[in-house]
Structures are given as C-alpha cells and as structure tokens.
Amino acid sequence: MKTVLFLLFAVAAWSQPLRVYSEFARIDATGKVTAPAEPREILSPAIVRNGYSSFQVVVDVPKGTAYQLYVAQNPENAVQVTLYRENGDKLEPVTQPASGDATQVYWMDLWTARDAPVQRIKVEPQLHVNNDWVIYPMEGRVVTATVPDGRQPDGLNTCTPSGKMPSDSVSTFKLRLRNSQQDAALAASAPKEELQKLLLPCDASTLSDPEWYLRIRDYLLRLR
C-alpha cells in the first residue's frame, strides 16, 4: 500500500514539469513559488509594444533527467525572444534549445516592436523530456499600449526590494528596473488621480505579495 501511495505521489509531482509565472513571483532553487501564496496564472498576458514583457519559466524535473526547452511562436517572429538561465540574481543568456538535467528557473524576455499588429499570438514554452513533449499553452495579447521613445521619465514610485544593484551585466534586478521604467513612461500620460487610486502604501502586507504591482501594470496596458 505504501508503495502505491508513493508512486501516486511521484506521478502527481511529475504532472507539471513546465510552469510559467510573472516576473515578480518569488521562486526558490527547487522551482517552488515562495510568494505570493496564490501566484497569478499566466495564460493570456497582455504584451506591450515597443517594449519588453518578462516571465519566469520553471522546468521541474528529477535530477539526472535530460531536457530541451524551446519557445515556439505563431505567427513566427511575432516577438523577439531572449532566454536567460537564472542563477540567484544573475541572468545567464542561453540559446535555444536550452538544455539541462535538473530543475531550473529561466527568465523569458519578449521584445515587441512598435509597429507590431494588435493581435493574439502564441508564445509557447515547449519542453522535450523523456521522449515526449510538454507544452505550456500561452497566448499573448499584443495591446495598443506602446512605450514612448526617448528618455524614460521618473515616477510611479512603488515598493522595491532593498539591496544594492548587482555588478553583473545582466540581473533580475536590472531587468525588473528596466520594465518599471517602461511603466513609468506609460504612466506619464495616465490620469494622476487614477494612478493614486491604484498605489498602495509600502507596508508589510504589500511586501508579502510581490505580485500586487501587477494591478498597476494591468491598468497601464489598457491605456490607448
């Protein structure tokens, strides 16, 4: 009986070897989300034009299990995809297919051109493992919102993690900062009173949910 229960548990644990989360979800080295308690489901995210959209991709496999990770698109080349392997706060660029033989967290960075059509596109992480394919069904929505060209203005002050900027050339800190600057540029044309309604004080409850900021980004990506 114990053997049967163990096998059932093993199958359940293996049932989701490929998952996608927002850039703000906190994920430990084992691929488990430590905050928030209920992370946002990433299935049909809004994609800003003339800017970047970032997601974390978790490949969760037993140690010693070889895999290859691809990102498929339809239409082809709808966005420019850059994959990074997360190593603590550092991001190490990798070419497709990314390969490994243990649980790994990746950063999937999407660049969308200014003149990209407003449409739905498939941007699907695909995992080849154990001679089989696991596909994460992600359909991005390229929206009208377009990051302005030129200097990114200051503004939209929000809670940010404490600590010094890492000295490496690419890091999660720097790319999150880049994305927040895009949001600040979009916010420059938004009604200030509407933004104030969305802003929350930086308190313990806010910092315990790193995805609280997504409601501000949701509003900005609805701007025209």
User: pLDDT digits over 181-192, tens only?
Assistant: 999 999 998 777
Class of CATH domain 15-220: mainly beta
Who's near 129: CB < 8 A, 6+ residues apart? 17, 61, 65, 66, 67, 68
Which pLDDT does position 75 carry in this prediction? 97
- Sign of the Cα torsion 214, 144, 224, 145 reads positive
pTM reported for the whole predicted model: 0.83
Instruction: Indicate whether 13 pLDDT > 50.
Output: no
User: pLDDT digits over 93-139, tens only?
Assistant: 999 999 999 999 999 999 999 999 999 999 999 999 999 999 999 99
Q: In angstroms, rounded to a whole number, what is the distance separating the alpha carbons of residues 41 and 174?
A: 24
Which pLDDT does position 98 carry in this prediction? 97
